[in-house]
Structure 1
Amino acid sequence: MTTIVDEKTLKSLIDALAVSPDNLPLSLTVFRESKRLHGIDQAIQHLSHVKSEAVTNIEDQLVIAEAFLEAGLPEKTKQFCMSDTPATHLLLCKTELACGKPEQAKVHYQQAIQASSALQDKTLEARLGIADHEHQESRPKLKVIANDDTNITELKRIIAPTEKTVTFADVGGLSEVKKQIHKKIILPYQKPSLFQRFRKRVGGGILLYGPPGCGKTLLARATAGECQAKFFNIELADILDMYIGESEKRLHTVFEQARNQSPAVIFFDEVEAIGGKRQYSRESTSSKLVSQFLSELDGFAQNNHGVLVLASTNVPWAIDSAFLRPGRFDRLIFIPPPDQTARENILNILLKDRPIERNLDLASLAKITSGFSGADLQNVVETAIDNAIEDSISSQEDVLLSQQHLQQAMKEVKATTIDWLTSARNYAKYANESGLYNDVLSFMKKHGKH
């Protein structure tokens, strides 16, 4: 608890300092209390007798240097800036600026933020004349698209395949799922002659289902990467249009462009938004869009030209049964929450190239995160990074991401797959006549989720 010093006590401290002028802790105490009661101009005189060579503690050096700078005595400030710390360089920057030497100030500022990015100060950069473009190399580039013709711009965006290639190496865990995809999807692309010999079709529709955040979209992109195929990532907003008939035209355009650029993978995220059960739709336009979707799938079943249609859903029980017939989305793959080995693998991928402490115990973290999806684990890492950044700002030096940061984040983040598994359990037990949810039942039996 901080003791509040009154005028009488301060006078006693000043008298004691006169007897022991070399007592540095007493000098600093008198300075602080005098500043609180009378302001910097009167308080600074209690530090004027302090010799820089007598101050060996870096924190004390900075306190005294900042005091002289605040008092408008930059030359005295320099005498106490003896260390080579980021905070010292930042103080020297402000000192040189006060002396009218912006170029020297800029040098010290760059040294400070290179050593500790937590010290970056946009207001100070403006005073130093550091332009925004001098920091742009480390920032993501933003692509601005003029919205002069919405229809043309949107159509081009929809039919443009994703440029960045992702492979299975970028997907943590899911080894069994990867084996299924390799067998059912990748091999037909790699050995088309063999499959044609056995009259086995190449392409068609595959539905990925499971709890949210478990990597369905990333797995779809990785599948396209493994097949060396172009990847078209289609979302609901890409298709739906307020004008009658436009949504169907957009959907048809997507399929046509994919066929023209084969080998290609079309991926429909949250496909239930487009292919939901028609009996629940009140609008005829929604029913027409479902019918158009089915028509496109039927066309591809007969003449797909090496185009694979992938879709994902968190609610497979909401998909219109017509989508699951042979020749459409007749191959279903369950994407479960990651197991312990997969969770550790995911954490390693998420922490790659991050400023972390050596020898983090990710195995113990993976052990206590049962039921966490990949997205949940990413949330843990991002929360831990927020804590590390906060510590960096508080300490004014770059702090590495530590085990303590991760453990603290674990207290704030909860698993999000539990609700999904509860709903899926009911469907798997009571609405599984066709065997659609056999994989879900196997997963729950293995992991004791009854």
Structure 2
Amino acid sequence: MHDDAGLQALREAARLSPDNLPLRQHLAGQLLAKGYLAEAEAEYRAALVLAPKNADITAGLAEAFVRQSAFGAALAALEPLLASPGYPPRLGVLAARALFGEGDTARAGYRYHEAVSRDPSVADADLAARLSAPPAPLYATAPPAAAAPADETSTEVEHSGLTFADVAGMDTVKEALRVKLLLPIQQPELFAAYGKRAGGGVLLYGPPGAGKTHLARAAAGELGASFVNVGLADILDMYIGSSERNLRATFELARRNRPCVLFFDEVDALAARRSDMRQAHTRQVVNQFLAELDGVDQNANEGVLVLAATNAPWYVDVAFRRPGRLDQPVFVPPPDAAARAAILRILCRNKPLAEMDFDAVARVTDQFVGADLKGLVDRAVEVKLQQSISAGRPIPLSTPDLLAAAKSVRPTAVREWMATARNYVMHANDSGAWDELMPWVKGKW
């Protein structure tokens, strides 16, 4: 870089005028274009201090991270902007590149197709080829040989061994699931007297890692029902019509194995607001989902309990909240201190233990969700295993072990999620849909 007189002049100008945002941004862009990635990252960071929410600067920083294979750092930089409705599509493509770099092909494909559907000009031919998708925003129709039969799906039926006893805390959430989904099947005569059918849907929402998937498995185990866990890769397909066929086949699988809990994770990817979509084929997936929830007749989905989970309920099309569909949003909150202690007890059972004070650990793990607590226990166990190998015998896990691990583990996305939720509750809640969150966003979060 020292041989590039133009860059040296820009750097000197930026040194003399450190608060000149356009100058810093231009310097960062030139450094990025010429491949000086570490220097570009430093300049973009300095520019972000001056304009923390600038989408162009964030995109440049994320680009620098991606080109240095720092995919996690790129996603962390992009996440606050991706949580905002109508974010620039080019940020979605950058996120797709980072997700693909981390090996998360399903989410990368979703991010890429969503971004390109809103702005075809951001299409990335190389990334599209790597995702096994066409480089243009218009999709080809599936050749006859590639189309899966309507009654076949790669999704498998499971039988969960979990029950609500394996779910710490969440008493309000568990009670809502019992009344809405479980009791109509467990006491059909009583509910039939009031004209209530066995079936229906619930939308679980809350911060990442709070235990929504774990709760869905426990609901299936509590009922002794079949469990079908549906991921994005099971539904989304590059060919027009194939995603709709996959949805129909998945619902047919659940109907053949009723009573069945049909669980859709990251449902905002399949049930996004149609007003945000530019192309008809993406809207048709939402239409098909709504049609399957309604069923061909009033008894079509009897015994099929649809649980859907999302970290971004505000992106789900409002039609899904119509009665008879996912009409009961249920907030899955971060665990309080008592729930954290109960989670730790469950995570530590069947392990060699000394006398434990889980309440003490719970007090120092404020803002930790279930996934964070599992990471904490795993880290403590790894340290204890090393000690046990050296000693030649199992050494019990103790309270100081968990407290030491808690110092090295940081909570994930609860505070960031609550900040996003606060924006919707305070500024986009005319319908009252998010009143349930009001006590949380007005509290310490």
Give the TM interval when normalised to the shorter protein.
Answer: 0.5 to 0.7
Is 1:336 matched up with 2:336? no
Residue 162 of structure 1 aligns to a residue whose secondary structure is strand
Looking at structure 1, the residues matched to 322 and 169 of structure 2 have their Cα atoms a distance apart, in angstroms, of 30
Looking at structure 2, the residues matched to 182 and 392 of structure 1 have their Cα atoms a distance apart, in angstroms, of 43
Is 1:405 matched up with 2:405? no
**What's the CA shift for 1:383?**
1.2
Cα deviations across residues 282-312 of structure 1 (Å, max 9, x unaligned)?
A: 4432211111101111217722222111100
**What's the CA shift for 1:211?**
0.6
Looking at structure 1, the residues matched to 367 and 241 of structure 2 have their Cα atoms a distance apart, in angstroms, of 43
Cα contact 2:153–2:246 (8 A) shared by 1? no
Looking at structure 2, the residues matched to 387 and 335 of structure 1 have their Cα atoms a distance apart, in angstroms, of 32
Cα contact 1:301–1:328 (8 A) shared by 2? no
Cα deviations across residues 47-66 of structure 1 (Å, max 9, x unaligned)?
A: xxxxxxxxxxxxxxxxxxxx
Looking at structure 2, the residues matched to 302 and 203 of structure 1 have their Cα atoms a distance apart, in angstroms, of 10
**What's the CA shift for 1:281?**
2.8
Looking at structure 2, the residues matched to 344 and 245 of structure 1 have their Cα atoms a distance apart, in angstroms, of 48
Is 1:220 matched up with 2:205? no
Alignment of 1:411-426 (within 5 A): 411-416=407-412, 417-426=414-423
Q: Which amino acid aligns with 1:171?
A: V
Looking at structure 2, the residues matched to 180 and 299 of structure 1 have their Cα atoms a distance apart, in angstroms, of 23
Is 1:235 matched up with 2:235? no
Cα contact 2:228–2:262 (8 A) shared by 1? yes
CA RMSD, 1 decimal:
2.4
**What's the CA shift for 1:190?**
1.1
Cα deviations across residues 148-189 of structure 1 (Å, max 9, x unaligned)?
A: x99889x87744311332210111111121122222221111
Residue 257 of structure 1 aligns to a residue whose secondary structure is helix
Looking at structure 1, the residues matched to 380 and 184 of structure 2 have their Cα atoms a distance apart, in angstroms, of 42
Is 1:449 matched up with 2:444? yes
Sort the Cα spacing of 1:258 and 1:312 in 2 relative to 1 into closer, same or farther, 3 A: same
Cα contact 2:160–2:218 (8 A) shared by 1? no
Q: Which amino acid aligns with 2:387?
A: D
Cα deviations across residues 180-219 of structure 1 (Å, max 9, x unaligned)?
A: 2222221111111221211123211210000111111111
Q: Which amino acid aligns with 1:169?
A: A
Match of 2:371 among 371, 375, 395: 375
**What's the CA shift for 1:349?**
0.5
**What's the CA shift for 1:230?**
1.0
Residue 275 of structure 1 aligns to a residue whose secondary structure is coil
Sort the Cα spacing of 1:150 and 1:347 in 2 relative to 1 into closer, same or farther, 3 A: farther
Q: Which amino acid aligns with 1:348?
A: R
Looking at structure 2, the residues matched to 299 and 225 of structure 1 have their Cα atoms a distance apart, in angstroms, of 25
Cα contact 2:158–2:226 (8 A) shared by 1? yes
Cα deviations across residues 74-94 of structure 1 (Å, max 9, x unaligned)?
A: xxxxxxxxxxxxxxxxxxxxx
Please name the residue that 1:85 is paired with.
Answer: none
* Structure showing greater Rg: 1
Residue 270 of structure 2 aligns to a residue whose secondary structure is helix
Looking at structure 2, the residues matched to 301 and 180 of structure 1 have their Cα atoms a distance apart, in angstroms, of 26
Cα contact 1:275–1:319 (8 A) shared by 2? yes
Residue 295 of structure 2 aligns to a residue whose secondary structure is helix
Is 1:255 matched up with 2:251? yes
Cα contact 2:159–2:225 (8 A) shared by 1? no
Residue 180 of structure 1 aligns to a residue whose secondary structure is helix
Alignment of 1:113-132 (within 5 A): none
Looking at structure 1, the residues matched to 374 and 204 of structure 2 have their Cα atoms a distance apart, in angstroms, of 21
Match of 2:170 among 159, 171, 174: 174
Match of 1:305 among 277, 298, 302: 302
Please name the residue that 2:190 is paired with.
Answer: 194
Alignment of 1:284-295 (within 5 A): 284-295=280-291
**What's the CA shift for 1:375?**
0.5
Sort the Cα spacing of 1:279 and 1:299 in 2 relative to 1 into closer, same or farther, 3 A: same
**What's the CA shift for 1:390?**
3.0
Please name the residue that 1:436 is paired with.
Answer: 433
Q: Which amino acid aligns with 2:288?
A: Q
Q: Which amino acid aligns with 2:277?
A: S
Q: Which amino acid aligns with 1:271?
A: V
Please name the residue that 1:54 is paired with.
Answer: none
Structure 2 unaligned blocks of 5 or more: 1-144
Alignment of 1:319-358 (within 5 A): 319-356=316-353, 358=354
**What's the CA shift for 1:248?**
0.9
Q: Point out 4+ residue stretches in structure 1 off by more than 4 angstroms.
A: 149-153, 393-397
Residue 179 of structure 2 aligns to a residue whose secondary structure is helix
Cα contact 1:204–1:300 (8 A) shared by 2? no
Looking at structure 1, the residues matched to 371 and 324 of structure 2 have their Cα atoms a distance apart, in angstroms, of 32
Residue 157 of structure 2 aligns to a residue whose secondary structure is coil
Report the number of matched residues: 299
Looking at structure 1, the residues matched to 351 and 161 of structure 2 have their Cα atoms a distance apart, in angstroms, of 22
Cα contact 1:301–1:327 (8 A) shared by 2? no
Is 1:317 matched up with 2:319? no
Query: Equivalent pairs: percent with the same residue?
Result: 47
Match of 1:266 among 253, 262, 269: 262
Give TM-score scaled by structure 2 length: 0.63
**What's the CA shift for 1:317?**
0.7
Structure 1 unaligned blocks of 5 or more: 1-148
Cα deviations across residues 340-375 of structure 1 (Å, max 9, x unaligned)?
A: 11111100000011123x212111011121211000
Looking at structure 1, the residues matched to 271 and 218 of structure 2 have their Cα atoms a distance apart, in angstroms, of 24
Cα contact 1:298–1:328 (8 A) shared by 2? yes
Sort the Cα spacing of 1:253 and 1:409 in 2 relative to 1 into closer, same or farther, 3 A: same
Cα deviations across residues 321-344 of structure 1 (Å, max 9, x unaligned)?
A: 121122211111110011111111
Sort the Cα spacing of 1:157 and 1:290 in 2 relative to 1 into closer, same or farther, 3 A: closer
Looking at structure 2, the residues matched to 391 and 150 of structure 1 have their Cα atoms a distance apart, in angstroms, of 54
